[in-house]
């Protein structure tokens, strides 16, 4: 095996671990937002909270800059996840009103 192939394998082993950690962290986040959705549905609270999103985006952009991660990417990632959370919250609200 060439040095490059060995190095690629080593890096991919780290990528595999990081991807697994991301999946577990996302699963935990959705477990938590499921409870938020149920709480909001039970109390007639709106699915989305634009003020909270705005504050979280500002915070995440700051953290991304500190971590040398593109803040635009951090914001896109957050927007993508929150859109799915809101979709789940709306379904929870519909189910609660049935
Ligand atoms: O904090 C809330 O109120 C949530 O519903 C969670 C969450 C999020 O996933 O971060 C999702 C939707 C809201 O617009 C804001 C934040």
Q: Looking at this predicted complex, what is its ipTM? A: 0.99
Q: Which atom of ligand 1 is nearest to the CA of 49?
A: 14
pLDDT averaged over the chain? Answer: 97
Domain count, the chain: 1
Residues 33-91: tens digit of each pLDDT: 999 999 999 999 999 999 999 999 999 999 999 999 999 999 999 999 999 999 999 99
Task: For residue 62, report the distance from its CA to the centre of ligand 1, in Å.
Answer: 19
Q: Quote the domain boundaries for residue 81.
A: 3-97
Nearest to 60 by CA among 48, 49, 76: 76
DSSP string, 44-70: T--S--HHHHHHHHHHHHHHHHHTT--
- In angstroms, the CA 81 to CA 37 distance is 14
Token digits for 44? 């007639």
Angle at 11 between CA 7 and CA 12, to 5 degrees: 115
Ligand 1 contacts CB of residue 53 (under 6 A): yes
CATH number at residue 34: 1.20.59.10
């Amino acid at each position: 095996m060439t040095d490059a192939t060995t190095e690629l394998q080593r890096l991919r082993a780290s990528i595999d671990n990081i991807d697994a950690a991301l999946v577990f962290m996302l699963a935990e986040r959705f477990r938590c937002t499921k409870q938020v959705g149920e709480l909001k549905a039970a109390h007639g609270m709106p699915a989305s909270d634009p003020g909270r999103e705005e504050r979280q985006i500002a915070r995440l952009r700051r953290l991304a800059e500190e971590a040398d991660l593109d803040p635009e990417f951090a914001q896109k990632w957050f927007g993508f996840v929150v859109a799915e959370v809101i979709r789940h919250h709306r379904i929870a609200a519909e189910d609660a009103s049935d």
